[in-house]
Structure 1
């Protein structure tokens, strides 16, 4: 007999990332919860349904389907007997009315006793993952414009909690891993916001949690993000050996072997760590490796968090490396190159690069030029508080200014005008 495929069931399975075998496994668990006896469904059973060879499963199966999907069987494309021709199930014998009533009574009682479990397990699928991930782009845009702050941290943590709440639903292992991955990204965003705001202890707590979530997600990209931020955190804590180790951990993640863009970022972070330890050869070698890897990177879809990285950011990191290695002229040139190509939407990043340029200039005793350049950093962030990391760089600039030219008029005017702005917590 010809059969019509059950496209509704196929669509539901695709939406929720179920294979025939994984759906059969979920149905077996549901049947055991309902009746106390394990089910015997397998992938062949589900394929029979999808092919339309079984159009109305027996009452046991229909109840199990309701538990797993949260939907009535008719919504899943099954057709009650008598409404259209249907081939009998090759795996389930016909039931007599007495047996059907007995099962329905038993299933109803079992369902009532298991009601909290069933009610707490709505199905979760790809669309839920996509909705959970959608909020990350908005938070990334806020960070690019304003930098890290408490409200951004709280919003990221709310996103992580909401994503983890979805784990209470019924889902495939693949969907669960994707949810853990999204939660790891939200938590990494909270960590980054805390780091940028110089709330270093909170940043460490969030990074610990993000690494745990990335591990459960088996997501090398999420893990790489955590190690990248860990290297930065160690740098800000003056734990330079740990910064090198974290950068090397970032380089060891699987994503760096597959994508030169991530490899370049790992090498660049290592270059900064080596430079702060005074290891000139290792720093320059890592910087060269970062440049070589970036040259091989192709345009392809990547997570939104790494959108900041590219030629401009590499030049900005190179400026830090050169400045740490007492090569201020090279640092100045790298900062100019970074600002020439850094998109205007990266307002905080432009302000950081500008402050670094001013620092390189003061290291060359270009006092008036340095003061004028640093003023641009304040102008770029006008209307919003300065992120903590930017305040630190401007604080370094002020100390160098006072040390290098304590009597210079430009230095005194700079301090009179900007001290309250960069020193405000």
Structure 2
């Protein structure tokens, strides 16, 4: 029956990009890790799980599924046969991938990185890909909450090294390519962490390596990520011509031609580069293309973790930047308010960044007191963590404009009040 399908399992497989054949391989390798013998699960068995024909896998398969996904079998949509619930599967010991994620979080939040894996089985398969993808997701979550920092960079580079080490032992071409793709993702994450921390020279070297790895993976999505970050790096370096060229390279990737979401981001990044280059008409034209593409995005489709931040809220935030740079501060203020209303609370760094854009738009309209009040909110939003270098630089821009546009007393008071929490980058 149609309503008996296991929608939860199908949704998880779609989320991680796993086919039935790949899940079969992952389950059999996880069973080997648990028992010492390769499992005998067939692809037909996976299809029976998806159809709902088999609602309760064997115990070894259940444990393997939990080890692969990091979720309980109940979360994956499985239910015991009949009413026999008196013999539940005993809780499994913490799986290796769970330990791996904890170590990644520890490496990203502590002063030094720690070894990721003490030992691994000799055979490499899809379960390793899933485990490493979970670790990328953990690092992206830390970045959204706290912003870029060197410990996050070290953890990301350690992940890239592990992915490349596993690639040398992988058994299939598809797994090798996915491990190259993960290495590119980790390396790009390291680069972004340094861009956000304003350590720009090392960030460029990471991006060069990430683009090479994306090419080896034949992964257009990863190539798009690298060009997007290259545009952001060039903007931080005030090389606006390079920023436009990198954004246009992002537009030219196959994924941007296929995906309205990727196309929208590439056009928005182009708009920022053109605005900073003094091309008002071109900037607004690119911004319009970004908005048109966003209107075509299917919000129900799963998306890569690196671009999960991008949606209407982030587009509003980038609109605020473009509009302020081209001399439309009232429109910039309105866009910033829209962005703040739509941004999820978990995107703390992005919220702080947009709040500074709001303060700048207010200041550029001569609304000094509201601008100072908005800028003060940044320190509340980021309370408990150091301000990332990119955010400190933007606050430096606000302070310089405050000196130019406001009475000297107000600028001095602002600097004196927040000196302990902020210093110009």
Q: TM-score range by the shorter chain?
A: 0.7 to 0.9
1:254 equivalent in structure 2: 254
Q: Is the CA contact 1:12–1:76 (under 8 Å) kept in the aligned structure 2?
A: no
Name the residue aligned to 2:366. Answer: 365
Q: TM-score, normalised by structure 2?
A: 0.72
Shift of the 357–215 alpha-carbon distance from structure 1 to 2, 3 Å rule, reads: same
The separation in 2 between residues aligned to 1:406 and 1:422, in whole angstroms, is: 21
Give the 3 Å change call, closer, same or farther, for CA 166–279 of structure 1 in structure 2. Answer: same
Q: How well do the aligned residues superpose, as a CA RMSD in angstroms?
A: 2.4
Deviation, structure 1 residue 121: 9.6
- Paired residues for 1:236-315 under 5 Å: 236-298=236-298, 299-315=300-316
Q: Is the 8 A contact 1:17 1:125 kept in 2?
A: no
Question: Which whole-Å CA distance do the structure 2 matches of 1:17 and 1:217 have between them?
Answer: 24
Please list every run of 5 or more consecutive structure 2 residues that lacks an aligned counterpart in the other structure.
Answer: 1-19, 41-119
Structure 1 residues 412 and 196, CA, compared in 2 at 3 Å: closer, same or farther? same
SS in 1 for 2:419: helix
Question: Any idea what the Cα deviations from partners look like across 1:50-79, whole Å, max 9, x if unmatched?
Answer: xxxxxxxxxxxxxxxxxxx99xx99577xx
For residue 325 of structure 2, what is the aligned residue in structure 1? 324
Matches within 5 A, 1:92-241: 122-241=122-241
Q: CA deviation at 1:170?
A: 3.8
Please name the residue that 1:354 is paired with. 355
CA offsets 1:177-234 (integer angstroms, 9 cap, x no match): 0000011100010000000000000110110110010000000000000000000000
SS of match in other structure, 2:227: helix
Deviation per CA, 1:77-135, whole angstroms, max 9, x where unpaired?
A: 7xxxxxxxxxxxxxxxxxxxxxxxxxxxxxxxxxxxxxxxxxx9932111111111110
Whole-Å separation in 2 of the counterparts to 1:17 and 1:173: 19
**Secondary structure at the counterpart of residue 148 of structure 2:** coil
**2:403 maps to 1:393:** no
Change (3 A) 1:11 1:297: closer
Give the corresponding residue for 1:374: 375
Confirm or deny: 8 A CA contact 1:275 1:321 kept in the other structure. yes
1:75–1:193 distance in 2 versus 1, CA, 3 Å: closer
SS of alignment partner, residue 422 of structure 1: coil
Cross-structure match for 2:25:
15
SS at match of 1:300: coil
Secondary structure of the residue aligned to 1:130 is helix
Partner residue of 1:31?
none
Query: Are 1:371 and 1:411, in contact at CA under 8 Å, matched by a contact in 2?
Result: no
* Offset at residue 419 of structure 1 (A): 2.9
Structure 1: give runs of 5+ residues left out of the alignment.
1-9, 19-68, 78-119
- Kept in 2, the 8 Å contact 1:17–1:175? The answer is no
> How many residues are treated as equivalent by the alignment?
322
Q: SS in structure 2 opposite 1:123?
A: coil
Following TM superposition, by how much is the alpha carbon of 1:384 offset from its aligned partner in structure 2, in angstroms?
Answer: 0.3
Contact residue 367 and residue 411 of structure 1 kept, 8 A: no
Q: 1:184 to 1:147 in 2, by over 3 A?
A: same
SS at match of 2:251: helix
Deviation by residue 1:156-176 (Cα, 9 ceiling, x = unmatched): 111111111102214111110
CA distance in 1, matches of 2:309, 2:325: 22
Would the aligned equivalents of 1:16 and 1:124 in 2 still touch at CA under 8 Å?
no
TM-score by length of 1: 0.72
Secondary structure at 1:163 match in 2: helix
Q: Which has the larger radius of gyration?
A: 1
Partner in structure 2 of residue 85 of structure 1: none
> Residue deviations 1:343-375, cap 9 Å, x none?
111000000000111011111111111111100
1:167–1:203 Cα change, 3 Å:
same
Q: Which moved more, 1:141-150 or 1:412-421?
A: 412-421
Residues in 1 aligned to 2:222 and 2:38: alpha-carbon distance in whole angstroms: 37
**How far 1:326 moved relative to its partner?**
1.1
Quick one: distance in 2 between partners of 1:74 and 1:338?
A: 53
Tell me what 2:48 maps to: none
